[in-house]
Amino acid sequence: MAVALRLMRFGKRKQPHYRIVALDKTKKRDGSYIEKVGLYHPLDEKNTIHINKERFDYWKSKGAQLSEGLERLLKNKDNVVFE
């Protein structure tokens, strides 16, 4: 099973928030996921990304690939908070 780390959208119209999840690559964006790894609230004043460092590293070590959107967000290291 190929695993991907990607963003899953939640929230009302024009008020999005995202979960960073590990899921099977063949599943839909908002389908069932294996594990929640972090959160991203784009409308917050600080615009921070909260990631569980231990679980993120675990999935990366198992060969999980980052989605394009998540890669773009993680390039700006100032907004990432590892917990």
Under a CB-based contact definition with an 8 Å cutoff, are residues 33 and 22 in contact? yes
pLDDT given at position 78: 76
Share of the chain above pLDDT 90, in %: 64
Residue 56 has pLDDT above 80, yes or no: yes
pTM exceeding the 0.75 threshold for the entire prediction: yes
Can you give the CATH number for the domain in which 64 is found?
Answer: 3.30.1320.10
The pLDDT tens digits for 32-53 are 899 999 999 999 888 889 999 9
Query: Across-strand partners of 32?
Result: none
Number of domains in the chain: 1
State which residues form the domain around 24.
3-82
Rounded distance between C-alpha atoms, residue 68 and residue 25, angstroms:
13
